[in-house]
Structure 1
Amino acid sequence: MYKNLVAALAAACLWAPLHAQGPAAPPPTRATWVYVTPVTDVGWTHQHEAARLAVQAALGDQVETRYVENVAEGTDAERVLRDLARQGNDIIFTTSFGYMEPALRVARDFPQVRFEVITGVKRAANVATANARYYEGRYLAGIAAGRMTQAGVIGYVAGFPIPEVLQGINAFTLGLRSVRPDASVRLVWLNEWFNPPREREAALVLLDQGADVLAFHSASTAIMKAAEERGRLAIAYHSDMRSVAPHAQLAAVTHHWEAYELARVRALRDGSWKSGDLWGGVKEGMVRIEGFGPRVPEAVRREVLAREQDIAAGRLHPFAGPVRDNTGQLQVPQGRHASDREILEMNYLVEGVRGPLPR
């Protein structure tokens, strides 16, 4: 009996500390961000890197985050995503449209891994998509450009002729012509997202053609720097770029991913993650116009910010009819505004944009 009592006490001593500690904490969530460009001080990738750092700061030791930069779209992206899945990542954020198909292929082979495809349009059980209504910020930037241009000619450097880019060009032009009906937009297409020398060359061509304000949909600061050198104005995109163009920046259309990406990691940790699609804009705080430069009068700032509030409240729709394309065809009739589906499938250039749509 004595031996049995000693054994029972010994067992109690062994188990008591474990019982006092309670259930083991879940392991940290492993999250990786994949970037199409290098991590820079400003720009598209910078905004997602800011979100990654915000996730790490908010969740502390509940999460392990890292990033892979400068990953080309296509076969390179699939190789990187497959390696990340094999390495035991729980959630992977891909931040370029060209990562969508590789992510879908890899997701089929790794159903336990969640993929967040930013700017994507196709989903699966473990693949979610999210995007921002960048065009809302573009419309506001067009108003600012319309108030500031003297020549009435705006230069626009664009990456690829996909709907997201066309939405931006068209909304910008509609905002521009809402306050300067005679103004026009001249386009240069790059057919790539990040090539600073070519971006700079395109900007200089447009400035030589008489543009006194520049806008762009690419990933470097080259257009801003060109405007600064020439003493012209430019609209920053993705980030506030006054650090590289303190005199040239008219305003900045900025994008903010912290809230969304943090919510998705938290959802994975608490078991509520589901595939879905989010398209947020000014109202949700994902798109803003800010960073007005020193050459912008206070009256222009107030006007643009008032229109931002109108968009947030649903009083102003950038694609309110009538909207005609630059061949004269009516795309959105009077009395209604373009539906989300029409915006997502946009394949035309509006009146005021010079030149045909590349096919």
Structure 2
Amino acid sequence: MQRRRLLLASGIAATAPALWPVAARAAAPLKIGFIYSGPIADIGWTYQHDLGRLMVEKEFGNKVQTVYVEKVPESADADRVIRQLVNDGCKMIFTTSFGFMDPTIRVAADFPDVAFEHCSGYKTAKNVGIYQTRFYEGAYLIGLLGGKMTKTNTFGYVAPFPIPEVIRNLSAWTLGARAVNPKVGVKVVWINSWYDPGREREAAQALIDQGADVLYQNTDSSAVVSLAQSKGLYAFGQDSDMTRFGPKAHLSGNTLNWGVYYVHKVRQMLEGKWKSEDTKWGMKEGIVQVVPPNAEVPKDVAALFEAKKAEILAGKFHPFTGPIKDTTGAVRVPAGQTLAEDELWKMKWYADGVLGKQP
């Protein structure tokens, strides 16, 4: 279900002109704004961000006041919405999608006393921090499951936009699958939307028509998992646990708990310790969480999944450890080495095994 576009929690807006230190102010709550690209609904990327917002409210009570705006276009319209939140008294703003990067930077330049946090981007400023997840850790693990379960050796990936975050997940999923089944090939359909159930379903059907019997999405709705359930195929959900939409089809899911990060950064603000940082958290920090394999997965395959998960948690394995080739056959990561951080977060190439040309 959708909620109204603007939700006000308890409390009143903070009016003190200075950003730091918040701890030294009077009892007025810290007003925090969240900008969402999609509808909150009850699953998906935006829903998980909003659960994080609610964790902030639960953790800090009347010390904070949160507001949000959903379904904000990733365009110049975002400038207006962000600016309005500042004018409404927000002293901390989280912009939660890649397309909000430039609007965040532009507005932040005009309001140096406001702390901004942008998700999935790479541009920072003195009052703009960025945060991303090592989502590729979960993508690798579910690829491993799929590689063991496929009968056609053809995977299908429903993709939104060709940005590094999405290409990274696609390549990690492919690497996980081919680590246990080198015959796997991954076909991709780009829909140019984060949330469009109709187009997601159409893309999934097109991939099924091309022989895919294992599906994964980097989009928000349950359409792909539901279709796989109706066809007797396998699928992996994204962002939220989508098991209820495909009890047999949904082998696992790659999910996020943004709340652990939001509580961390809001605590910094309340203690007067906030600063602009480039944060990348994964499974170890609890922000990336994989759904346990369902009963359709054989015990030996589930055990392999858990063993590799333990290696990632212990820092003993990185999904982008070589040798890794791209689709042209060029070696991108030599044997025994790990893809450099700057290359990983700006990734624009497909790992070997992804089929078709990049858009």
Determine if the TM-score, normalized by the shorter chain, exceeds 0.5. Answer: yes
AA partner of residue 223 (structure 1) = V
Q: Which residue of 1 aligns with 2:326?
A: 325
Does 2:259 match 1:258? yes
1:131 is paired with a residue of what secondary structure?
strand
Q: Which residue of 2 aligns with 1:48?
A: 49
For 1:200 and 1:347, the matched residues in 2 are separated by 26
Q: Which residue of 2 aligns with 1:294?
A: 295
Q: Which residue of 2 aligns with 1:120?
A: 121
Give the 5 Å matches for 1:160-309. Answer: 160-309=161-310
For 1:45 and 1:327, the matched residues in 2 are separated by 36
AA partner of residue 355 (structure 1) = G
For 1:197 and 1:349, the matched residues in 2 are separated by 26
1:354 is paired with a residue of what secondary structure?
coil
2:90 is paired with a residue of what secondary structure?
coil
For 1:136 and 1:120, the matched residues in 2 are separated by 19
For 1:228 and 1:301, the matched residues in 2 are separated by 20
Deviation at 1:321? Answer: 1.1
For 1:346 and 1:73, the matched residues in 2 are separated by 21
Deviation at 1:217? Answer: 0.7
Deviation at 1:25? Answer: 4.2
Greater helix fraction, Structure 1 or Structure 2: 1
Q: Which residue of 1 aligns with 2:39?
A: 38
For 1:24 and 1:99, the matched residues in 2 are separated by 30
For 2:306 and 2:180, the matched residues in 1 are separated by 15
Give the 5 Å matches for 1:67-146. Answer: 67-146=68-147
Aligned-CA RMSD value: 1.3
For 1:197 and 1:148, the matched residues in 2 are separated by 27
For 2:43 and 2:198, the matched residues in 1 are separated by 17
Query: For the Cα contact (< 8 Å) 1:165–1:217, is it kept in 2?
Result: yes
Q: Which residue of 2 aligns with 1:10?
A: none
CA 1:349–1:221: 2 relative to 1, 3 Å: same
1:194 is paired with a residue of what secondary structure?
coil
AA partner of residue 337 (structure 1) = T
1:353 is paired with a residue of what secondary structure?
coil
**Per-residue Cα deviation, 1:210-269 (whole angstroms, up to 9, x for no partner):** 111101111211111111121211011111111222221010111111111011111111
* Number of residues of Structure 1 aligned to a counterpart in Structure 2: 336
For 1:291 and 1:334, the matched residues in 2 are separated by 30
Deviation at 1:297? Answer: 2.0
Query: For the Cα contact (< 8 Å) 1:242–1:291, is it kept in 2?
Result: no
Query: For the Cα contact (< 8 Å) 1:240–1:291, is it kept in 2?
Result: no
Deviation at 1:208? Answer: 1.4
Identity %: 44
Deviation at 1:42? Answer: 1.1
For 1:246 and 1:32, the matched residues in 2 are separated by 36
2:245 is paired with a residue of what secondary structure?
coil
**Per-residue Cα deviation, 1:29-51 (whole angstroms, up to 9, x for no partner):** 11121111100111111111111
For 2:25 and 2:38, the matched residues in 1 are separated by 39
Give the 5 Å matches for 1:339-358. Answer: 339-358=340-359
AA partner of residue 192 (structure 2) = N
Deviation at 1:312? Answer: 1.6
For 1:239 and 1:24, the matched residues in 2 are separated by 37
For 1:315 and 1:214, the matched residues in 2 are separated by 28
TM-score (ref. length: structure 1): 0.91
Deviation at 1:24? Answer: 8.1
**Per-residue Cα deviation, 1:151-175 (whole angstroms, up to 9, x for no partner):** 1111001111111111111111111
Q: Which residue of 2 aligns with 1:61?
A: 62
TM-score (ref. length: structure 2): 0.91
**Per-residue Cα deviation, 1:77-121 (whole angstroms, up to 9, x for no partner):** 111001111111011111100001001111111111111101121
**Per-residue Cα deviation, 1:123-172 (whole angstroms, up to 9, x for no partner):** 11111100001111111011010111111111001111111111111111
Q: Which residue of 2 aligns with 1:13?
A: none
Query: For the Cα contact (< 8 Å) 1:35–1:95, is it kept in 2?
Result: yes
AA partner of residue 78 (structure 1) = D
Structure with bigger gyration radius: 1
For 1:323 and 1:128, the matched residues in 2 are separated by 31
AA partner of residue 93 (structure 2) = I
AA partner of residue 318 (structure 2) = H
Deviation at 1:299? Answer: 2.2
Q: Which residue of 2 aligns with 1:155?
A: 156
Query: For the Cα contact (< 8 Å) 2:260–2:286, is it kept in 1?
Result: no
For 1:143 and 1:228, the matched residues in 2 are separated by 20
For 1:25 and 1:259, the matched residues in 2 are separated by 26
Query: For the Cα contact (< 8 Å) 1:142–1:175, is it kept in 2?
Result: yes
For 1:315 and 1:58, the matched residues in 2 are separated by 33
